[in-house]
Amino acid sequence: MKRKVPHRDELLDYNYAVAGHAGTLCDANGELFIKPCTQGEIDFYNSVVRGSDFAGIIPTFIGGLEHSDPSDLNINDPVETLKDQIKATIAEHVSHASAEMTATAAPNDDTPWVPTNGKKIETNLAVALDNAASGFKKPNILDVKLGMRLWADNAPAAKKARFDKIASETTHLTHGFRIAGMRVYRGSDDPARLDDEGYLVYDKDYGRVTMNKDNIIDGFRRFVFNPAAGIDEALGRAVCKMFADKIAHVYKVIDKLETRMYSSSLLFVFEGDGEALRAAIEQQDESKTDLETKLANRTTTRTDSGIAMGGDSERAEMADGDEDDDANRTTTRTDSGIAVGDDSERAEVADGDEDDDDGVGLDHDAGVRLDHDAGVRLNDNDVVGLNKGPQVLSLKLIDFAHAEWTPKQGPDKNLLFGVGELKKIFEELSK
């Protein structure tokens, strides 16, 4: 299905980025996110095997954009059905919006390094991604910069020294990460502290100055638990459990790969309006329950032959081979990872580069994977509902300006340390 791409004059400055460079854009519906980038980042996105486990934990890559002057913009788009649309509708806008960006050669060892301090980077390239904040009524967004070491091997000496200083003075040293920035809907009772959309915005100084090894867990508590927005203790604990499970999945995926990613981040997004959050949980649970009911109704198990036959003699197998599990599924709505009680409305968990941030990418965890004639695979780590309807939460690994595959060098322990520490924190908050 082709996506409707907006006209050039419908693209806007993106205001939800909580860290990273200026110069990002989005469409009016907030579905598309475009940011300046390096060729290395585009190359890394292009190298990812589509449909792989790793592809499932990063933003959906739509294409790389390049221009040499305002009238010449080319797109390298792996999604063939979108190439002509993107080229026709957004290329001109990206070109004009980034007219001040100039093409630059890769720096050599003698090139002085000057920090951007969040300003627009000098580049003739941009990357188009799906937007992680799409589908939320009031998205709470948290960018967590990963790693004890933040610089790549080819970084200038001045950059290495500056980033080492940042790491030594922040929770990078003790926890392998720091809070780079966050936005929390109705995060303060003082209206004067909120922006025009009702958000309390925490800038980079929050993670650099305010947070330390002794109070870091409080920073994440402020991100999730917010009675003023209708997110009470029970609902907050449920959200934290879901994030803990997703972090565990990210850890498992990265631990199997041989990569090095410096200054990459984990981007947390969840519905910040308590009422909308509960509604999203219920709707996604109902969608999954409806699907399972349809599957159960169309499949008759013949125990004499050991073959599950459909009503029209079509073969229906559960992709995971766990027919018994599906036959014994509870009617309680626990499919999204949260069981919401109808009486008490209490939500419980079912068992079940410093300056080079990637911005925001849409969570494409479908929750249900159709394997042609093989049946339906239900993924515990995925968000249910094929991305239709309101979203509950999303977790994506972002920012690959300094990422590469490193065969025979083992997994990225620098990155994994921070991911593991984050898992511990969200598990603690879920109790």
> What's the CATH code of the domain at 216?
3.30.470.160
Query: What pLDDT does 166 receive?
Result: 96
Q: Which of 130, 157, 180 is the last residue of a domain?
A: 130
Residue 162 falls within a domain, yes or no? Answer: yes
Regarding whether 217 and 77 lie in a shared domain, the answer is no
Residue 215 falls within a domain, yes or no? Answer: yes
Residue 384 falls within a domain, yes or no? Answer: no
Regarding whether 342 and 261 lie in a shared domain, the answer is no
Query: What pLDDT does 80 receive?
Result: 40
Class of residue 368 by CB neighbours under 10 A (exposed 0-12, middle 13-18, buried 19+): middle
Task: From residue 408, give the alpha-carbon distance in Å to each of 130, 251, 261, 403.
Answer: 32, 19, 15, 16
Query: What pLDDT does 338 receive?
Result: 43
Q: For residue 185, give the H/E element and its range.
A: strand 177-185
Task: From residue 231, give the alpha-carbon distance in Å to each of 45, 152, 237, 280.
Answer: 36, 40, 10, 13
Contact at 8 Å (CB) between 349 and 242? Answer: yes
Q: Which domain holds residue 53?
A: 8-130
Regarding whether 259 and 154 lie in a shared domain, the answer is yes
Q: For residue 8, how far is the Cα from the chain centroid?
A: 26
Query: What pLDDT does 36 receive?
Result: 82
Regarding whether 230 and 85 lie in a shared domain, the answer is no
Regarding whether 171 and 126 lie in a shared domain, the answer is no
Query: What pLDDT does 315 receive?
Result: 42
Residue 1 falls within a domain, yes or no? Answer: no
Q: Which of 378, 400, 421 is the last residue of a domain?
A: 378
DSSP state of 386: T
Q: How many domains does the chain have?
A: 3
For the chain, residues with pLDDT lower than 50 are: 1-2, 4-8, 17-22, 67-110, 113, 118-119, 301-387
Regarding whether 211 and 310 lie in a shared domain, the answer is no
Regarding whether 264 and 410 lie in a shared domain, the answer is yes
Regarding whether 19 and 120 lie in a shared domain, the answer is yes
Q: For residue 94, give the H/E element and its range.
A: helix 91-97
Render pLDDT for 90-127 as a digit per residue (tens, 0 to 9). 444 444 444 433 333 344 444 554 555 544 556 678 78
Regarding whether 361 and 323 lie in a shared domain, the answer is yes
Query: What pLDDT does 294 receive?
Result: 82
Question: How far is Cα 89 from Cα 131, in angstroms, rounded to an integer?
Answer: 18
Query: What pLDDT does 40 receive?
Result: 92
Query: What pLDDT does 274 receive?
Result: 96
